[in-house]
């Protein structure tokens, strides 16, 4: 009996799929595993060496609070890493040929010929002119706020950035999880660091020991404190930056490029803002999650291959007619 081939198995982007296509990540996930390991190791040391002492000498609520924060952090991280960020399907062969056919120009009487598609096309969003860029890889005009990730080789809706720490792009469908991850991770780092300091101070007082003696007696707590101390500054900075982006309804990509300004009446005023930071936060963090545009677990059929790859005779005929040769590639588009 022939095995069933799924669409994720012929997906053209540079992605890694697990659990029969249910999980999608970037191909390079080494830093993601380092992120998971660092959080887990630090938290385990905290629960094993600090929580029993603090629960006995301070309050039994500390292990409960630490456990809730750890679960929330890991849940947000895995949601960010394993979720389709908003990949836009590539154009089919017929769609790509049709796009270029619309801009066909004559060639000195030697028959029709196509020039490369224009790089931009202008549309109006809430009274502001926005340029749509043509993606020569995906053969589409990218929707507003979309961009092509050179690492994953996909166009992504509301592209924010590619984050190696979570092993995935951050876009429209997983940005809220990414934001919750960095916010909760900042709280966890501050919480563990504060508990480590409290542990050492209480131990010094109870044992009437010096600071250096306490450090020698509690090496695990010192390791946790050092990790949290050097991590918390970058995490707090990142959390603050993305809080600013969320309240202004911008992406990292737009902010770095200086695409929009906060001043009304300016030509490049942000057309996606809702006028105040509360509405912007609600739109970014509480809006509905759109369904994935790629049917990665769908079954590959002959009809699907014909639509996405094209029949060889049709492609050769199109090449002779329009002067452009395309390599037939699957797209992962829903049909």
Catalytic residue numbers?
Answer: 163
Better-scored residue on pLDDT, 32 or 125: 32
Report angle CA 84, 88, 92 to the nearest 5 degrees.
135
Report angle CA 188, 190, 194 to the nearest 5 degrees.
115
Confidence category of residue 110, pLDDT binned at 50, 70, 90: low
> Per-residue DSSP letters for 222-240?
HHHHHHHHHHHHHHHHHHH
Report CA 166 to chain centroid distance, whole Å.
8
Least confident of 47-51, 75-79, 149-153, 326-330: 326-330
pLDDT for the residue 320: 36
What is the model's pTM? 0.85
The distance between the two most distant Cα atoms of the chain, rounded to a whole number of Å, is 97
In this prediction, residues 69-86 reach a mean pLDDT of 97
Please say if the pLDDT value at position 335 is more than 90: no
pLDDT for the residue 47: 96
pLDDT for the residue 315: 38
Torsion of CA 318, 320, 322, 326, to 10 degrees: 60
In this prediction, residues 78-96 reach a mean pLDDT of 91
pLDDT for the residue 131: 85
In this prediction, residues 81-86 reach a mean pLDDT of 96
pLDDT for the residue 103: 55
Better-scored residue on pLDDT, 220 or 1: 220
pLDDT per position as a tens digit, 126-177: 878 888 888 888 888 899 999 999 999 999 999 999 999 999 999 999 999 9
* DSSP category for residue 148: E
- Calculate what percentage of the chain has a pLDDT beyond 70: 83
Across the chain, the runs of DSSP E, i.e. the strands, are: 15-18, 23-26, 87-88, 104-106, 112-114, 120-125, 128-135, 140-141, 147-149, 154-156, 161-163, 168-170
Q: Are 167 and 32 in contact (CB under 8 A)?
A: yes
pLDDT for the residue 87: 96
pLDDT per position as a tens digit, 274-325: 888 899 999 999 988 889 999 888 888 888 777 776 644 443 433 333 333 3
Please say if the pLDDT value at position 109 is more than 90: no
pLDDT for the residue 321: 34
pLDDT for the residue 257: 85
Alpha-carbon gap, residue 259 to 261, rounded angstroms: 7
pLDDT for the residue 67: 96
SS3 305: helix
């Amino acid at each position: 009996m022939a095995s069933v081939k799924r669409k994720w198995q012929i997906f053209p982007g540079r992605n890694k799929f697990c659990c029969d296509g249910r999980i999608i990540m970037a191909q390079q996930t080494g830093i993601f595993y380092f992120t998971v390991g660092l959080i887990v190791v630090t938290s385990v040391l905290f629960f094993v060496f600090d929580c029993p002492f603090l629960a006995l000498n301070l309050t039994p609520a500390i292990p409960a609070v630490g456990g809730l924060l750890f679960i929330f952090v890991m849940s947000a991280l895995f949601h960010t890493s394993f979720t389709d960020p908003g990949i836009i399907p590539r154009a089919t062969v017929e769609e790509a040929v049709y796009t270029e056919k619309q801009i066909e120009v004559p060639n000195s009487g030697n028959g029709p010929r196509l020039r490369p598609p224009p790089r931009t096309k202008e549309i109006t969003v809430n009274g502001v002119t926005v340029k749509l860029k043509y993606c020569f890889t995906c053969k589409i005009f990218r929707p507003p706020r979309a961009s092509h990730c050179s690492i994953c080789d996909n166009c992504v809706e509301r592209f924010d950035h590619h984050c190696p720490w979570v092993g995935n792009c951050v876009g429209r469908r997983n940005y809220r999880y990414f934001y919750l991850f960095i916010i909760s991770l900042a709280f966890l780092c501050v919480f563990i660091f504060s508990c480590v300091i409290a542990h050492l101070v209480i131990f010094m007082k109870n044992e009437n020991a010096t600071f250096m003696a306490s450090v020698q007696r509690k090496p695990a707590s010192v390791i946790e404190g050092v990790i949290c101390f050097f991590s918390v500054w970058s995490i707090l900075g990142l959390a603050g930056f993305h809080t600013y982006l969320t309240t202004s309804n911008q992406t990292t990509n737009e902010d770095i490029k200086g695409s929009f300004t906060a001043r009304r009446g300016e030509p490049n005023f942000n057309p996606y803002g809702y006028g105040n930071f509360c509405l912007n936060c609600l739109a970014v963090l509480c809006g509905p999650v759109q369904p994935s545009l790629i049917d990665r677990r769908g079954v590959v059929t002959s009809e699907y291959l014909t639509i996405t790859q094209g029949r060889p005779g049709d492609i050769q005929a199109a090449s002779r007619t329009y002067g452009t040769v395309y390599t037939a590639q699957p797209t992962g588009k829903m049909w």
